[in-house]
Structure 1
Amino acid sequence: MASTLESKVEERKDNNEKTIDREKTCPLLLRVFCSTGRHNALTEYRRGNVPPNELQIYTWMDATLKELVNLIQDVNPDTRRRGTIFEFRLIYPDLNKPIPRMKELGTVTMGQKGFDDTKTLLQLGFMIGDFMDIAITHPSRGPPPRRIRPY
């Protein structure tokens, strides 16, 4: 499923980063691969191949993980449920071997503020051409409701 989204125009200033003027800066293409309950296997990224579950997002280097979650929810409403967990991995080429490398980036949980929510692509070491692999875990439905017996 290949979709194209554009991040909402928003300026952000961080002490460690220079401000990106999203009105004047051309966005980059971020290739995202989402799976339910697990990450895609690293072997699926070998020899120029990619998994079939691609989502294409146009965004900027100052985009946060939370912002990426919001864009994914625009095309996948099932992920909007409170407690849904998004686990981010960066997939990038190993320049010395034909095997791609992987780096854990962080986790965002719907309905909860977290430490990783405000991490940006730039802070996480993303480079144009890298892939983002996201495991989406829906909250458990919990045990069935107890029935109360009338006396």
Structure 2
Amino acid sequence: MASGGLESKIVEEKSENEKPVNREKTCPLLLRVFCNTGRHNSILQYAAGTVPGNELQIYTWKDATLKELSTLVKEVNPDAKRKGTTLHFALVAPDPTRPNANLRARDLGATISGHKGPDDNKTLAQLKFRIGDFLDIGIFPPTDTMGMDRMERIGMERSMPDRLGMERGIIDRRQNRRGRAY
């Protein structure tokens, strides 16, 4: 009996979004960025067609990296310049699973001023950014990030309403109080 051989092969595919952009010939897109020091903006601030008041407009391309965007934010935001400051990125976009166009936040990664990190070279295209999405950046000075896990820095997931319209944040905050000084 001949056995059918099964062969696997790993192939790195480059989609059209990951090809380098010719910045001389390609028109940049408008990226609407909302920065907040010490926390992210609440997802509720993006409800009903409104946006937070702390908007920064950046003209860039889909091949822009998180580190490149961090540099642009540091140019205009003095809180972000200090060495060791973490800039945590979240994408705010329509929820594809809900037909009534609710927005949801998704963690993209973080950069740390003055340090190299694993998320530095992630591009908007790799992170599935679509034109019209918002970028929400939580700026955490070095003292604010000590002892906090990644989800605590994000802050947005717990403040988003669940399917019943209730806030999940109350239970989550109680569970996260262990081991922290207030």
> What TM-score does the superposition give when structure 2 sets the normalisation length?
0.67
Secondary structure of 1:140's counterpart equals: helix
Residues of 1 paired with 2:134 and 2:62: CA distance? Answer: 13
Map 1:1-151 → 2, pairs under 5 A: 16=14, 17-95=18-96, 96-140=99-143
Any conservation in 1 of the 2:37–2:79 contact (CA below 8 Å)?
no
Query: Which piece of structure 1 moves more, 75-84 or 50-59?
Result: 75-84
* C-alpha RMSD over aligned residues: 1.5
Secondary structure of 2:135's counterpart equals: strand
Gaps of 5+ in 1: 1-14, 142-151
The structure with more radius of gyration: 2
Gaps of 5+ in 2: 1-12, 145-182
Residues of 1 paired with 2:117 and 2:87: CA distance? Answer: 12
Structure 1 or 2: larger helix share? Answer: 2
Residues of 2 paired with 1:100 and 1:140: CA distance? Answer: 31
Which 4+ stretches in 1 moved above 6 angstroms?
A: none
> What TM-score does the superposition give when structure 1 sets the normalisation length?
0.80
Paired positions, count: 127
Q: Percent identity?
A: 57
Report deviation, 1:139: 1.7
Residues of 1 paired with 2:79 and 2:89: CA distance? Answer: 18
Report deviation, 1:65: 0.2
Residues of 2 paired with 1:114 and 1:70: CA distance? Answer: 14
Report deviation, 1:140: 2.2
Any conservation in 2 of the 1:64–1:119 contact (CA below 8 Å)?
yes
Residues of 1 paired with 2:27 and 2:109: CA distance? Answer: 26
Residues of 2 paired with 1:29 and 1:138: CA distance? Answer: 27
Structure 1 or 2: larger strand share? Answer: 1
Residues of 1 paired with 2:105 and 2:79: CA distance? Answer: 27
Secondary structure of 1:105's counterpart equals: strand
